Structure 1
């Protein structure tokens, strides 16, 4: 017997504010089910109850199974769901964004559509990566040149720190094992960072394809965000792994495990959320606003104005409600 439409969708006022939720809950090797208004995670050690309204994004790692009822509850309470690798170091798929509002995606589109603001965001990204430099006034070519020099400096510094020989960045797509150990580790770390960034971008409802540094790819913005943490987290972890003298170990898997632990220690997922809001939103709009009692849906009109939806705007019946 169908249960469609038996329960009305919860309004934003009935939902826990995004700012008051746990940003990310990670589960692995368990069965996720529903018990009243909580989801349950059942494994060999027992059953854990998690109030669904407190979850921002649920990350489902390896070995998880989830029931239809659990997904239905998560959808009702406004939680995002992502299927990921260990600790989020891979991204596979996702179900709905965390927020009902399109504010962040619209802010991204506005910043991207104007060449000046697009360059301003690219400069802000550079400033986040290298806070000791001021990129104001730099052209895109100058930004790329400075980034290249900073990457070379980072590689040399990490080689000196770990004692790993460095002969330059070498990566041939499709031939992972053809590179030396440190280049394999850097490639594996980069792929993991892309997975993490993809999970965050998707959960926030941003467009993965509207990048400010990268362009022309469906994941351009994901690549932008992942690169924010390349020299601080990704490359140092790769050199640490390459410095371990263990030729019999799969360096790709070892790098993913090391990066997984570092991400967990540094709460990188939460930091990604903060940085994306900092880049896309004006200062006064970065804090989650109080939700109203109903969804905000408007229609676009001329001159950048917005008018009420759910109203017939033709002639004398302008204010006829429920015009559908």
Structure 2
């Protein structure tokens, strides 16, 4: 009996320790806005070269329902002329990947010119192929976010969608974005907040358990808090929106697709077209919650006229 109790106690301790290791996030980096050494974090940015960007169950495609209308709203409002008429602007997607967000934005601004830049040559090739099939005139270029291959003051707007949390030098990337923006140009973004909620949902559940995102696609320590990003934007001469305007984003779990699965409609309905994740989770929506992903925008400060 004593031996059984000892074994039970040890099993309980191991279970408690395992739960703690699962639930408690690692120690945050001393300074997220410093230059982070490649070997200081565990993140695999190389897998994007062979990533299946346009798979029917690509989770990033679910985000478009929330973020794309919001980006379009900010650009349309900030970049419209005095009469309220939209101009024909030029936009840059920094870290465009396979073009998931780029294409959706291009469809919303038919008269605009869109350029996508990404360090991954494989991703750029995938984006070019899909844009051609989709009949979209988007220019894609291989290049780093830290040294954008464009002249200064070239673009009316820029976007980083699901990119900032992958960067080892956020201030440098933001400085480059500010450089290529015209004065008054608008930068929009979405990224992931560094919270216990994002550790559990994004890393432990979505990445490590369910493999909705590839292994080592994220390192929680590279996630960025709104306060950190607010500071980095200001240092790059980008005036951020008030933090109260930054609206969070989380998945809306809709019951209808789940009921369809139970009723047997799941396999014969729209699942093949939408994919498993889209059928079960549905598109994402905006919410005031900031524990996971959040959106924001910033405007490049105008050039001060000499006195």
Higher relative contact order (CA 8 A, sep 6+): 2
The question of a shared fold, defined as TM-score above 0.5 by the shorter chain, is answered with no
Give TM-score scaled by structure 2 length: 0.27
Structure number with bigger Rg = 1
* TM-score (norm: length of structure 1): 0.26
Q: Which has the higher helix share?
A: 1
